[in-house]
Structure 1
Amino acid sequence: MTDLLDRSIGSIACDVPGATQIFHEYKLDFCCGGHRSLRETLERRKINNPQPIFDRLAKLMATQTETTHSPWHEKSNDALIDHILVRYHQQHREGLPELIRLARRVEQVHGERADCPKGLADHLSDMQQELESHMMKEEQILFPMLRRASAAQVSAPISMMRFEHDQHGEALAHLEQLTNDIIAPADACNTWRALYAGLRQLREDLMQHIHLENNILFMADRSAAPTQAHIA
């Protein structure tokens, strides 16, 4: 258990399939805060009894086999980049406009309620603009460089992307503040519930997106390996 506590949470997320689901449930930051040890992450979240987390991680590690364990750090830069473009960049572009529409509808209909997420639609619009700018930089500049070279050779643009990832993490934190941690009121209408279901998916997708880049693609000791087939 001590060894696990002293490992970075990002490395655990990379090496143990299924760990990210546990981290999502306990709101443990494995993307922007992936460099921190599991011990520090638990302390920051003020989790006094981490034993259930250890038990679940131990179970995952005990059942891990070569056939089921195919982490992304074993794939090429090309494969990982292709996966990020389709699974996350495309998904953010398709999903955010609808979330903004739903948020505006909820604010229009329920704006008089104290628990209405006022300002959410504008915040999502800001997130959309920031994400679009960020993804364009990756698609037009950084990703083509990483298809040809290792992360160690393009450290300056990677540092900028990491900085912007931290800003995305702060935007998610503000989103949670606006929405009571994305928990809808008991009497929420279907539109409100659909909005929050979409926001939870956005949070999970964005955290996983940042994790794959910060903790795998951007690592200095990772080479630009020959192209391999990737899994979606």
Structure 2
Amino acid sequence: MSLKLLDQPLGQLACEIPGASRLLHAFNLDFCCGGQRSLREEANRRGIDPQPIASELAALQNQGGLHHDWRSEPSDQLIEHILNRYHARHREQLPELIALAYRVEQVHGDRADCPRGLADHLRAMLQELESHMLKEEQILFPMLLAGYARQASAPIAVMRLEHDQHGAALEQLQRLSGGLTPPEDACNTWRALYRGLNELNDDLVQHIHLENNVLFAAALAP
């Protein structure tokens, strides 16, 4: 069973297997922007042996469990979920994280392990995400809801490109924050910041996955 999983697209694995997205994320395998790549291709790209991961995926597959497969839901329900669960949440998360990052830099800026530049990077992410989400809310999503999926290929291509840019921003976030892991002696503010960064990272990865591998894939299906 696990051998078959090696050549399946990561986006498909994340959609079909309960717990797969969490496992793939733990191995830093890109199932959102790189969801079209197979497990074997992405693992090789990262210099990781794919077989143990395939075995763990097979075990998850055998366990079954609760898993909401958004591919079986109407697009309007998925869009509502994306708006309420991710667009609204990102608008809450980022301003708070920016404030926390500035505070950490002001207090601990003389430390070698201080995430200097993190607040400015988060502010840039907020601006880019806000622009991106507005395009979806004002242009793309209304087109899909009105039944113009076939005419939406151009805006979808733009959104996919911007998703790639968001993925690159998350990689930079990892670098600036030392892998989203606070120092052992970090203060409470520093720890709260990194808890929030981990949540943002997980939410944005899942957000992009649902759009790229479910909503957009359905809109462009023959």
Counterpart for residue 92 of structure 2:
94
Partner residue in 1 for 2:22: 21
- The answer (yes or no) to whether the contact 2:182–2:190 under 8 Å persists in 1 is yes
Q: Match for residue 55 of structure 1?
A: 55
The 2-side partners of 1:119 and 1:155 are apart by 36
**Kept after mapping to 1: 8 A contact 2:17/2:61:** yes
Distance 1:154 1:134 in 2: 15
Report what 1:120 is aligned to: 118
SS in 1 for 2:60: helix
Inter-partner Cα distance in structure 1 for 2:184 and 2:28: 22
Q: Contact 1:151–1:158 at 8 Å: present in 2 too?
A: no
- Alpha-carbon distance, 1:150 to partner: 5.6
Moved beyond 6 Å, runs of 4+: none
CA distance in 1, matches of 2:78, 2:16: 15
* Cα drift, residue 151 of structure 1: 3.6
CA distance in 2 between counterparts of 1:148 and 1:6 reads 36
**TM-aligned CA deviation for residue 93 of structure 1:** 0.3
What secondary structure sits across from 2:181 in the alignment? coil
CA gap 1:37/1:51 in 2 versus in 1, 3 angstroms: closer
Question: How does 1:30-179 map onto structure 2 within 5 Å?
Answer: 30-48=31-49, 50-64=50-64, 68-149=66-147, 151-179=149-177
Give the number of the structure with larger relative contact order, counting CA–CA contacts within 8 Å between residues 6 or more apart: 1
- Percent identity over the alignment is 61
Structure 2 counterpart of 1:227 = none
| Separation in 2, partners of 1:15, 1:5 | 14
Indicate if the aligned counterparts of 1:151 and 1:217 stay in contact, CA closer than 8 A.
no
Output one character per residue of 1:183-202: Cα deviation in whole Å (capped at 9) or x when no partner. Answer: 11111111111100100100
Opposite residue 221 of structure 1, the aligned amino acid is A
The count of aligned residue pairs is: 219
Deviation at 1:26, TM superposition (A): 1.0
TM-score scaled by length of structure 1 = 0.91
In the other structure, the counterpart of 1:7 is 8
More helix as a share of residues: 2
CA distance in structure 2 between the aligned counterparts of 1:38 and 1:149, rounded to whole angstroms: 33
* CA-based RMSD: 1.4
Tell me the CA shift for residue 51 of structure 1: 4.1
The residue aligned with 1:230 is none
**Is the deviation greater in 135-144 or in 15-24?**
15-24
